[in-house]
Amino acid sequence: MSKAKFLAAVALGATLATPALARQLDPSVPADALEISKRVQCGEADGKPAVYHWQGNVYSRVAGEPDRLLFKGEGMNIRTCTTVEDPKRGKGWRLVSREIMLYLDPKTGEVLRKWDNPWTGETVDVMHIANDPVNQRPSFPINADGTPYANASLRREGRWFFMPFEVPLFYTNPLGGKYQDWTGGKYHAMEIFDFAFDADEMLDTKNKTAYPIVSWVRISDWMPWMKMRGRQGQMVFNAMGNKLTGYDELPAVLKDEIALNYPAYTTAPPVDDARPNETTWTVFMKWVDDKMPAAKPSGGH
């Protein structure tokens, strides 16, 4: 496609992205491909929330021993999107969100407050995943390098669209020091998302949004609150869920825990939220610092 034709297609897509009359989105048009991604992630319109829910299992994987079912997991993310414009890249959108995942007793399904570590014999406090915010950079029909936006992972099979993607993570662990490039300790994980959604629901803009199902896998280091002291091994999270029609569809175990301990999570962050994202590691640092007694000055002579 020539540059002139590409820019014309972008302009046409941008003009048609929010029409008065319903139409069919075309994944080959950059602005429409971007709109499909927005309909996957967001609610009905700017500022209207969307809620994702998932549930699954959390296993250990340690060399030389069978995998263990450590926890059941019950999670949610509440998000909203807003339109953003760039003079060179066109009209795009930005997502803001916050999310929770509870660790549940694998036998009773109850929310865990304490956990008996089977490797160390120590009983530790459980810190559930509660990250606020988890925001995304803006997306536009023209990428930062000037190429057209395209959802390379999107594929259609009959009435279904599938949108799988992987997020390899390898970054400086905020709990470690500045020598991690030499001594190790960097956070190493992979997040794997597989979305599936009805093509007719997605492509026909008479539907205000779409309601995908999603599977989520995470392979990661031990959670810091487990107090594993550098033991070899990994965690494997495996869950499935979907976008709900509203917050009230969440299961009682999540709504009760949010009401008790996380009241802010009934709504998404403001669309102009400029805070840095939180992770398990940054939240744990604050959590453990709050729990640790203040250091007392040592005496001297």
Query: Which contiguous run of DSSP H or E holds residue 153?
Result: none
pLDDT at 12: 46
Q: Is 143 helix (H, G, I), strand (E, B) or coil?
A: coil
pLDDT tens sequence across 168-223: 999 999 999 999 999 999 999 999 999 999 999 999 999 999 999 999 999 999 99
Report the distance separating Cα 280 and Cα 14, nearest Å: 37
Amino acid at residue number 101:
M
Report the distance separating Cα 114 and Cα 108, nearest Å: 14
Give the number of residues written for the chain.
301
Q: Is 125 helix (H, G, I), strand (E, B) or coil?
A: strand
Residues with Cβ within 8 Å of residue 63, at least 6 apart in sequence:
232, 233
pLDDT at 297: 45
Dihedral pair phi/psi, residue 19, rounded to 5°: -80, 170
Residues with Cβ within 8 Å of residue 105, at least 6 apart in sequence:
71, 72, 111, 112
Q: How many angstroms separate the first and last alpha carbons of the chain?
A: 80
pLDDT at 189: 97
Report the distance separating Cα 132 and Cα 286, nearest Å: 13
Dihedral pair phi/psi, residue 253, rounded to 5°: -60, -35
pLDDT at 37: 96
If you count DSSP H runs as helices and E runs as strands, how many of each does the chain have, helices first? 6, 11
Amino acid at residue number 299:
G
pLDDT tens sequence across 43-72: 999 999 999 999 999 999 999 999 999 999
pLDDT at 291: 83
Residues with Cβ within 8 Å of residue 72, at least 6 apart in sequence:
55, 56, 57, 58, 103, 104, 105, 106, 109
Domain residue spans of the chain: 3-264
Query: Which contiguous run of DSSP H or E holds residue 14?
Result: helix 3-16
Task: Confirm if 120 and 227 have CB atoms less than 8 A apart.
Answer: yes
Does the pTM of the predicted model rise above 0.85? yes
Low-confidence ranges of the chain (pLDDT < 50): 5-8, 10-12, 14-19, 295-298, 301
